């Protein structure tokens, strides 16, 4: 594959990270600094998001040190190569990282441009996917394409001459094929070249899980090429066993590639969310757009739930899904957020109805996760439909049970005053209970204790606030009843497994 080698820098010292980033023009040497992290825990998240080829990491760092980071990384992603930075006194740790799969190390006191470049080149040479050849014209072409999709233009006449030699025709298209594994991507490139014998074809080094190809053909054969691609998508069962393929409209210059990629191709890839059953989406062949003519009536939907008309609520959801499918430019993130909040509102409504279901209480987080991870509108609606079936069982009495009136008032009070300094003593005083009795009474009706239940209410509200980007995390901790910000972060991580900042980053990603 002809693309830049992606590098992630991990060091708790900001100046060290900046020094490495600005050591030289990395792209001219075949490398791209894709990101940085200040500790091992943060680096693991960056690895997941950025998928680097090589990681340069320090040893001594807070939260998770380099030794633990390398051990964890190589256990889950052994294909990623690691270069360790260390001082003379840390060599025992270096030895440990080498035993766990690190490729090489550099002593910090001797760090200089030439040594770092040599170590990176040696390490990149171990990665079969890269086939690192800085002098190779194919590699340079990959670099040109990467610059184009990043918004840069080619101005050097020698560079343009190389492009014209490689792509001699005046008709270009960008194609996205629905395969994700590295071996499948390489196989797909071979099949494309075989299937489109008269077409120049090159894989684009873009940040995409699916392979993107630049196609160049004689304008007189463009219709023939489009027909062949549609046939190939059908044969690969695109939209049935895998993601739909995407094909841009034609453009007549290599220099237009970046605009077409950013303004057309990325949008088409998002539109696949609404057209999961189509084998291929072509920009000029999109169906007529019908924007939503009405707003979803949340109050009416929840009234159906309150009156045990769950089937009517499900029908209303399905009707809304059909409307969303015709409004294919609607933001996917906003739709998922809305439907996730719908699940949250239904669970609150059930609590107001005095319906308790331990199974639904536990499974709602799975529903949130499945909505967030769904690849298509149909998949989201299947999750919602399953959720509403479970709600129907609860409201019919099969999965839920009614609590006594005192417990209902107690829970309502906690939901209404969670943002205030609320403790067992204050609530006991309000309801004229003995604190010890209230604690036992609460535990006998709920699977968790008073404090744990209160924390759960607060954290659920905090999650809702974090899913919007309008309020800072310190403000959120106060808004949900925590006077100590660090304690809020500790409780939040206990319930969700993530810090508030990582939760927000993951949601917005």
Considering only CA atoms, which of 475, 440, 477 is closest in space to residue 455?
477
According to the model, what pLDDT value does residue 18 have?
A: 80
According to the model, what pLDDT value does residue 399 have?
A: 45
Q: What is the CA radius of gyration of the chain?
A: 28
Among 402, 430, 447, identify where a domain stops: 402
Report CA-CA distances (Å) from 88 to 101, 181, 383.
20, 40, 55
How far is 502 from 508, CA to CA, in rounded Å? 10
Among 345, 370, 402, identify where a domain stops: 402
Strands (E), 97-249: 104-107, 171-176, 200-204, 212-217, 245-247
Same domain, 428 and 315: no
95-108 burial, b at 16+ Cβ within 10 Å, e below that, comes to ebbeebebbbbbeb
According to the model, what pLDDT value does residue 480 have?
A: 93
Residue written as token pair 């300094």: 421
Helices (H), 247-309: 257-260, 266-271, 298-306
Within a domain: 79: yes
Task: Spell out the per-residue pLDDT of the chain, length 509, in tens.
Answer: 456 788 999 998 887 888 888 777 777 777 888 889 989 899 999 898 888 999 998 888 888 888 888 889 988 888 899 888 876 555 565 666 676 677 777 776 556 777 788 888 888 888 776 654 444 455 577 777 877 887 777 777 878 888 888 899 999 999 998 765 444 667 788 888 888 988 998 888 776 778 899 999 999 999 999 999 999 888 877 656 667 889 999 999 998 998 999 888 988 888 888 887 788 888 888 877 666 555 778 888 888 888 778 888 888 888 887 777 667 777 788 888 888 888 888 888 887 676 766 677 778 888 888 888 888 888 888 888 888 888 888 776 544 445 566 777 888 889 899 999 888 888 888 888 888 878 877 877 776 788 888 998 999 899 888 887 678 898 999 999 998 888 999 999 988 888 898 888 777 76
Same domain, 148 and 279: yes
Q: Which domain holds residue 152?
A: 137-285
Same domain, 266 and 344: no
Among 380, 402, 424, identify where a domain stops: 402
According to the model, what pLDDT value does residue 398 have?
A: 45
Same domain, 117 and 143: no
Within a domain: 293: no
Same domain, 443 and 483: yes
Which sign does the torsion angle of CA 169, 173, 177, 180 carry? positive
According to the model, what pLDDT value does residue 102 have?
A: 79
Same domain, 141 and 108: no
Within a domain: 131: no
Same domain, 161 and 202: yes
Considering only CA atoms, which of 145, 149, 121 is closest in space to residue 135?
121
Within a domain: 291: no
According to the model, what pLDDT value does residue 198 have?
A: 87
Within a domain: 366: yes
User: Which CATH number covers residue 63?
Assistant: 3.40.50.2300
Same domain, 107 and 184: no
Within a domain: 30: yes
pLDDT tens for each residue of 15-74: 788 888 877 777 777 788 888 998 989 999 989 888 899 999 888 888 888 888 888 998
Same domain, 55 and 23: yes
Same domain, 267 and 337: no
The number of distinct structural domains making up the chain is: 4
In angstroms, how far is the first alpha carbon of the chain from the final one?
27
Within a domain: 454: yes
Same domain, 195 and 270: yes
For β-strands 5-10 and 31-37, DSSP reports them as: parallel
User: Which CATH number covers residue 253?
Assistant: 3.30.70.260
Same domain, 55 and 104: yes
According to the model, what pLDDT value does residue 477 have?
A: 92
Within a domain: 292: no
User: Which CATH number covers residue 416?
Assistant: 1.10.10.60
- State pTM to two decimals: 0.53
């Amino acid at each position: 594959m002809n693309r830049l080698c992606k590098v992630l820098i991990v060091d708790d010292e900001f100046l060290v990270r900046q020094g490495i980033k600005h050591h030289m023009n990395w792209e001219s040497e075949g490398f791209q600094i894709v990101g940085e992290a200040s500790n091992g825990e943060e680096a693991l998240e960056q690895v997941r998001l950025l998928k680097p080829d090589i990681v340069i990491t320090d040893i001594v760092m807070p939260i998770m040190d380099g030794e633990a980071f390398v051990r964890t990384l190589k256990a889950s992603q052994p294909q990623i190569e690691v270069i360790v930075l260390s001082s003379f006194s840390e060599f025992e740790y270096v030895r440990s990282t080498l035993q766990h799969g690190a490729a090489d190390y550099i002593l910090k006191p001797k760090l200089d441009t030439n040594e770092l470049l040599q170590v990176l080149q040696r390490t990149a040479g171990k990665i079969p996917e890269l086939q690192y050849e800085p002098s190779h014209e194919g590699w340079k072409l990959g670099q040109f394409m990467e610059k184009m999709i990043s918004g840069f233009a080619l101005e050097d006449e020698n560079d343009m001459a190389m492009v014209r030699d490689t792509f001699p025709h005046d008709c270009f298209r960008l194609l996205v094929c629905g395969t994700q594994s590295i071996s499948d991507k390489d196989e797909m490139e071979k099949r494309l070249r075989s299937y489109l014998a008269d077409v120049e074809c090159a894989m684009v080094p873009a940040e995409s899980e699916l392979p993107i190809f630049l196609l160049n053909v004689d304008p007189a054969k463009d219709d023939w090429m489009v027909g062949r691609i549609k046939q190939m998508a059908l044969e690969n069962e695109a939209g049935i066993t895998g993601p739909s393929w995407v094909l841009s409209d034609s453009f007549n210059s290599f220099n237009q590639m970046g605009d077409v990629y950013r303004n057309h191709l990325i949008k088409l890839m998002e539109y696949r969310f609404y057209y999961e059953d189509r084998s291929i989406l072509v920009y000029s062949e999109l169906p007529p757009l019908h924007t939503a003519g009405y707003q979803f009536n949340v109050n009416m939907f929840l009234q159906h739930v309150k009156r045990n008309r769950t089937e009517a609520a499900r029908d209303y959801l399905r009707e809304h899904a059909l409307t969303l499918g015709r409004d294919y430019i609607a933001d996917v993130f906003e739709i998922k957020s809305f439907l996730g909040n719908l699940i949250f509102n239904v669970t609150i409504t059930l609590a107001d109805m005095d319906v308790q279901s331990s199974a639904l209480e536990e499974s709602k987080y799975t529903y949130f996760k499945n909505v967030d991870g769904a690849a298509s509108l149909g998949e989201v609606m299947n999750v919602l439909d399953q959720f509403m079936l479970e709600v129907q069982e609860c409201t019919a009495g099969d999965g839920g049970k009614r609590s006594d009136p005192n417990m209902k008032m107690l829970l309502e009070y906690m939901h209404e005053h969670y943002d205030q300094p609320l403790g067992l003593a204050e609530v006991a005083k309000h309801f004229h209970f003995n604190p010890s009795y209230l604690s036992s009474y609460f535990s006998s009706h709920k699977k968790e204790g008073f404090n744990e239940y209160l924390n759960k209410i607060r954290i659920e509200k905090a999650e809702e606030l974090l899913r919007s980007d309008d309020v800072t995390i310190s403000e959120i901790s106060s808004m949900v009843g925590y006077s100590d910000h660090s304690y809020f972060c500790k409780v939040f991580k206990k319930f969700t497994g993530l810090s508030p900042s990582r939760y927000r980053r993951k949601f917005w990603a």
